[in-house]
Amino acid sequence: MLQCDAFYNLLKKHGITFFTGVPDSLLKDFCAYVADHTDPKNNIVAANEGGAVALAAGHHLATGNIGLVYMQNAGVGNAVNPLVSLVDGEVYSIPVLLFIGWRGEPGVKDEPQHIKQGRITIPLLEVLGIPHEVLPDVFEEAKRVLKKAVGSMTQRSAPYVFIIRKGIFEPYLLKKKEYSSYKLTRERVIQSIAGQLDNRDIVISTTGKTSRELFEYRERVGQDHSTDFLTVGSMGHVSQIALGLALSKPKRNVYCLDGDGSLIMHMGSLAINGTRAPKNFKHIVLNNGAHDSVGGQPTAGFKIDIVSIAKACGYKAAFAAEVENELLEKIHTLKETAGPVLLEVRINTGSRKDLGRPTIDPKESKKAFTKFLQDND
């Protein structure tokens, strides 16, 4: 394993002192160390991976220094556009060092949504023409390949990728973690919402712990899972899945369970939801101000006014809740209000240590869900 402090100091010796990206579970220890030891202006959790590449490009244009962009391999798709049309050697030729967490690495057990992505990670980098290698877990070897990478980026003035395997960095707990005073938990809110829905209502939940907690709630109370579409991947796209359903099933209420990180990743979707204006679209944002599933790094969730943004984007109504009695009242209002309507619930971070994962295969889940849609028109 690599010690986070030793490798961080090695990056600094090569003039790499600017960090940005979207957190990943395989990089959480390194990212936590960076967060604790870097001026906040030089460590920015971006809205999405493409934005992070652009931030690093701007840093290089202003300083001449190389920035480091961190992401999960699932986020490479968001980054492809600036990688090929901004920093590429045939366009503006800007060096960027990318750390990409290798979820779904062939031969390593992982969740279904990571398997294909893990298999195509290296072939995709080859198609993009970006030099890459797996970061060694021995310091002297890591030191050697970092020197090689910096030399390549300097000579070519173009990006370089280190692929990060699970467990390569020694554990490090984030010390500057932002704690909120909100009493509600995500799981409690999900229980309250799911417990008040009608048997014809459609539920779409975002990736991460939201879908896991919804699945476990249905299991615990003996309810059918077919009413739910658990978006186990595709972070940031849940509201557009919900919009597509709402427009196609106008007589059925569609409840979208979103998160602050997901909402921010593709916030432009709010404008599309608002302008298409389906009356059956119910958008619930569970805002804990953090990327809770991958290490707890902060989002901008508590620093922006989600309710006002939704209204400005054309939502017919938007409101917020922070405590139990307020939540129950606002859920009732949400049900009775013609959409698109948004409820922001401010919650605390964290989850049960024994929280499981959906045990139903995504394809089987989709089959049951589509049958539910057809049988209940």
Amino acid at position 3, single letter: Q
Structure tokens at 358: 């959906």
Lowest mean pLDDT among 47-61, 84-98, 153-167, 168-182: 168-182
Whether residue 99 is predicted with pLDDT greater than 90 in this model: the reply is yes
Please determine whether the domains at 4-164 and 186-375 fall in the same fold group of CATH: yes
pLDDT, position 136: 97
Is the peptide bond preceding residue 40 cis, with omega within 30 degrees of 0? no
Lowest mean pLDDT among 152-161, 297-306, 350-359: 350-359
Q: Are strands 18-21 and 67-72 parallel, antiparallel or unpaired?
A: parallel
Amino acid at position 46, single letter: A
> Distance between CA 253 and CA 263 in Å, rounded?
20
Question: ∠ at Cα 206 (53, 236), nearest 5°?
Answer: 25
Please state which CATH class domain 186-375 belongs to.
Answer: alpha beta
Which burial class, exposed, middle or buried, applies to 231 when counting CB atoms under 10 A from its CB (0-12, 13-18, 19+)?
buried
pLDDT, position 111: 86
Phi first, then psi: what are they for 160, rounded to 5°? -145, 145
Taking only Cα atoms into account, the Rg of the chain, rounded to an integer number of angstroms, comes to 21
Place of tokens 């899972």: 225
pLDDT, position 259: 94
| Model pTM score | 0.91
**Residue 224 pLDDT level (bands cut at 50, 70, 90):** confident
> Distance between CA 175 and CA 279 in Å, rounded?
44
Q: Are strands 297-298 and 228-230 parallel, antiparallel or unpaired?
A: unpaired
DSSP 38: S
Whether residue 306 is predicted with pLDDT greater than 90 in this model: the reply is yes
Enumerate helices (H) and strands (E) in the chain, giving the number of each: 14, 14
Of these ranges, 196-200, 207-211, 263-267, 353-357, the one predicted with the greatest mean pLDDT is 263-267
Q: Are 102 and 118 spatial neighbours (Cβ–Cβ below 8 Å)?
A: yes
> Distance between CA 356 and CA 15 in Å, rounded?
42
What average pLDDT does this structure show over 180-207? Answer: 90
Whether residue 247 is predicted with pLDDT greater than 90 in this model: the reply is yes
> Distance between CA 182 and CA 327 in Å, rounded?
12
**Residue 376 pLDDT level (bands cut at 50, 70, 90):** low
Residue among 217, 221, 183 at smallest CA distance from 203: 217
Structure tokens at 169: 């960095």
pLDDT, position 4: 97
* Domain residue limits, the chain: 4-164, 186-375
Q: How far is CA 236 from CA 137, 239, 261, 315, in A?
A: 32, 8, 8, 18
Residue among 75, 25, 49 at smallest CA distance from 292: 25
Whether residue 244 is predicted with pLDDT greater than 90 in this model: the reply is yes
**Residue 266 pLDDT level (bands cut at 50, 70, 90):** very high
Q: What's the fold here for domain 4-164?
A: Rossmann fold (3.40.50)
